[in-house]
Amino acid sequence: MTTQAHTTPKMSAARSQLLAALLIFATLLFSQVATQEVSTQNEFAPRVTATCKSGTMNIKVKFNGPYAGAVHARDHRNAACMAMGDGSDAVGFSINLLAKQGAPDYCGVLVSNVSGANRTEERSIQLAVRVHKTLELADDKFYVITCGKSGFGRDDNSHVILKFLENDRRVRETVYGHEYKIRAELAKPNGTQGVRVANCFAFDKKNNTIQLIDERGCSKDENIISRFVTSPDGHSAEATLRSMFRFSEDSEVHLQCDVIQCYGRCVENEDCKDLALAGVGGGSTKGGNAKLGPNEEGSLAGTTVFVLDPAKASLVTGTCEDTINPPWLLWLAITLGVLFLIMLLMNIFLCTAMSCSCANTEVDSH
């Protein structure tokens, strides 16, 4: 009886310490994993669609949560060219495509002639989707919306994230001439089994444009960018940008792509090598929307990066929103946690052994 009385309180205290340590360690690991998942799901990824009719462009922007920012034609924040978020998950407004410059409802519509047998005018705008109503933030998205090529329809819950990666870490500031990965990632896969990326083009504030990937998903120039390759889980696709470029008068580069979700295996119908040999492609203008199959759904995805001179490369610091930086810090924390648990277990074992020994000695003395 004496042995049990001496041993039980100490063993209970040791077990409580072990349980507390295990709970703390598990909580830290879980919070790290959960933070990575939530940061992807909650990332600002608006879904833009538009229709043109009778000289009017009707724009709808859907969000993956309550929105209180501003959507407007770039450089035009007048009432006729913008809409404010009211806390709901969607914003819609209309733009007059025929307004002349200087008119109160002029929104900077760009008009270009389309070559072909029937010469027509193509009208487009640069659309800014801002996180905040008044501030300009790094997460703001920019899109070129063109009548007849204005996004896709059906699934309003499909949100796609487009990002630049260096060493598997997201960057918003890039270095001219350096190599980067470009990844299109689904925020909510919704049963998607594959992803295709097509019609990617880069543009600047003045609407200078260069097409990188055509509507078939083929690279315009393999020396600049590779074709997007789908990940094994089918929830993302990645391409290699072999050399970061910039426009002559702007350090800001916007990238926009059509991202097609396949509810089933994506079918790649085009052989890019055969197309290149046949002379298909070329030029630097935007193509049409990628063609969709019967079990496919498309979304517009966009991102913006700043391009710095190589001399300033040492000043570039990556964001740490997707992971712990530097990466070795996480492994150091895990190693120290494991060592702590081992030492704690040894401590408990030694304390228990000593308690039993002392109790037995006390019983023998009686």
Q: What is the mean pLDDT of residues 172-198?
A: 87
- What pLDDT digit, counting tens, does each position of 238-271 carry? 999 999 999 988 889 999 999 988 877 776 656 7
**pLDDT classification of 34: cutoffs 50, 70, 90:** very low
Report the pLDDT value the prediction gives residue 37, as an integer from 0 to 100: 46
Q: Of 343, 182, 194, 166, nearest to 265 (Cα)?
A: 194
Those residues with Cβ within 8 angstroms of residue 37's Cβ, 6 or more apart along the chain or in another chain? none
Residue in the block written with tokens 């990617």: 200
- At residue 41, the 3 state secondary structure works out as helix
Q: Which segment of 94-98, 125-129, 277-281 scores lowest on mean pLDDT?
A: 277-281
From the CB of residue 43, how many other CB atoms can be counted at a distance below 10 Å? 17
Bridge partner list, 305: 253
The interaxial angle of helices 327-365 and 2-41, nearest 10 deg, is: 170
Percentage of the chain surpassing pLDDT 70? 68
Percentage of the chain surpassing pLDDT 90? 40
Token pair belonging to 330: 């996480």
- What pLDDT digit, counting tens, does each position of 304-360 carry? 999 998 887 765 554 444 555 566 777 888 888 888 888 888 888 777 777 766 666
Q: Which CA distances in Å does 159 have to 42, 64, 143?
A: 10, 7, 15
CA end-to-end span of the chain: 13
- Give start and end residues of each alpha helix (H) in the chain: 2-41, 272-278, 327-365
pTM above 0.85, yes or no: no
Pairing of strands 169-171, 82-84: unpaired
Token pair belonging to 30: 């879980």
Report the pLDDT value the prediction gives residue 283, as an integer from 0 to 100: 39
